[in-house]
Amino acid sequence: MAQRIIIDTDPGQDDAVAILLALASPEIELLGITCVAGNVGLPLTAANARRVCELAGRTDIPVFAGHDAPLRRKLVTAEHVHGKTGLDGVDLPAPSMPLQDRHAVGFLIETLRREPAGSVTLVPIGPLTNIASALARAPDIAARIGRIVLMGGAYFEVGNITPAAEFNIYVDPEAAQAVFACGAPITVVPLDVTHKALVTAPRNAAFRALGNRAGATVAAWTDFFERYDREKYGSPGAPLHDPCTIAWLLRPELFSGREINVEIETTGQYTTGMTVADWWRVSGRPANALFLRDLDAEGFFSLLTERLRRL
């Protein structure tokens, strides 16, 4: 039985690779894509999500626009990383498939209420505004969510947008706080893991060697967005943050982590947006998330490359 998921996203090149990996994997049934403002503004993230569906020949996937700003804060974007379109590196044509009329939050609530409890997994890979908004409007859905597998946060790896905070959490810390408190099972894919998923030159060459449009496009995207991490961290390649969530669904054995307590800082002068991960279990606070820390990078890239070959 395929894993039925909804991806909530702010594409972003790495988001785009996550969507392609999901679409290339028969173990996964993508019920819909909900878009949120994050890497770039909502009009672009909603267009980019459709560009990726069209690239994969999957105009059947319903794409919804959600929140264009955090619950209570001004939007912070990341054009410095992803370029002004959010998908710089390749010129994909403007999408011709339409956006759905429904708001993303309405789609999330309606789907979770309609489908059997526990049968739908949410995969948020951008700021958590849409998910928190759905929980606030319909608290009953918390008990119906099968699992939330989110890319966000950091602990040993510390922050990437501030010294303390990872971007997805930082953009909307109040939304993240609500998600981590909602009681649904959560898997956190933090920078601790995704900074080990680096697209080195051989891995990029393997994408290109696929000889298909998906491989060439992913190679061009990662060529573009690696420059930020290369400059800042001296990394040998772009960190493929968001696809790690889909890879965990497909092959959890490629990852390792601990069930621990994770709280979100929302008021710290220097630490707002920090995921305070109690890895050493010193707080006495109840565990509320599987916090991943390690990844078999070779295994991840062979899975990703093999799946991209199918597109």
- Distance from C-alpha of 191 to C-alpha of 167, rounded to nearest angstrom: 10
User: Which structure tokens are listed for 91?
Assistant: 């010129």
Q: Count of residues for the chain?
A: 311
In the window 60-99, what residues touch ligand RIB (CB under 6 A)?
none
Q: Which is nearer to Ca ion, 12 or 257 (CB)?
A: 12
In whole angstroms, how close is the CB of 202 to Ca ion at the nearest point? 25
Interface characters, 230-269, with Ca ion (x: CB under 5 A): ------------x---------------------------
Q: Which position among 8, 15, 166, 226 is part of the footprint of Ca ion (CB under 5 A)?
A: 15
The stretch near ligand RIB (CB under 6 A) out of 12-20, 196-204, 213-221, 291-299 is 12-20
**Segment 14 to 33, residues that bind ligand RIB, using CB under 6 A:** 14-15
Least distance (Å) between residue 119 CB and ligand RIB: 25
Residue with smaller CB distance to ligand RIB, 115 or 157: 157
Task: Provide the minimum distance between the beta carbon of 51 and Ca ion in the complex, in angstroms, as a whole number.
Answer: 15
CB of 247 to Ca ion, least distance (A): 15
Q: Does 12 bind Ca ion (CB under 5 A)?
A: yes
DSSP string of the chain?
Answer: -PEEEEEEE---HHHHHHHHHHHT-TTEEEEEEEE-SSSS-HHHHHHHHHHHHHHTT-TTS-EEE--SS-SSS-----HHHH-SSSSTTS-PPPP-SPPPSS-HHHHHHHHHHHSPTT-EEEEE-S-SHHHHHHHHH-GGGGGGEEEEEEE---STT--SSSSS--HHHHH-HHHHHHHHTS-S-EEEE-HHHHTT-EE-HHHHHHHHHT-SHHHHHHHHHHHHHHHHHHHHH--SSEE-TTHHHHHHHH-GGGEEEEEE-EEE-SS-TTTTT-EEE-TT--S-PPP-EEEEEEE-HHHHHHHHHHHHHT-
Kindly state the smallest distance separating residue 278's Cβ from ligand RIB, in Å.
Answer: 21
226 contact choice in Ca ion, ligand RIB, none (CB below 5 to 8 Å, kind-dependent): none
Contacts of 267 (CB under 8 A, 6+ apart): none
Reference 262, options 242, 244, 280; nearest CA is 280
Q: For residue 51, give both structure tokens.
A: 């560009």
| Of 80 and 114, CB closest to ligand RIB | 80
The interface mask with Ca ion, positions 106-145, x = CB under 5 A, is -------------------xx-------------------
Rule CB under 6 A: is residue 151 a binding residue for ligand RIB? yes
Q: How far is CA 196 from the centre of its chain?
A: 16
CB of 153 to ligand RIB, least distance (A): 9
Q: Is 10 in the site for ligand RIB (CB under 6 A)?
A: yes
- Total residues contacting ligand RIB by CB under 6 A comes to 15
Q: Kindly state whether residue 38 participates in binding ligand RIB, applying the rule CB under 6 A.
A: yes
Q: Which stretch binds ligand RIB (CB under 6 A): 162-170, 179-187, 261-269, 286-294?
A: 162-170
Nearest to 29 by CA among 60, 66, 65: 60
Residues carrying an active site annotation: 241
Judged by CB under 6 A, does residue 167 bind ligand RIB?
yes
Q: Could you list the residues that contact Ca ion (CB under 5 A)?
A: 10, 12, 15, 125-126, 242
Q: Could you list the residues that contact ligand RIB (CB under 6 A)?
A: 10, 12, 14-15, 38-39, 125-126, 151, 160, 166-168, 241-242
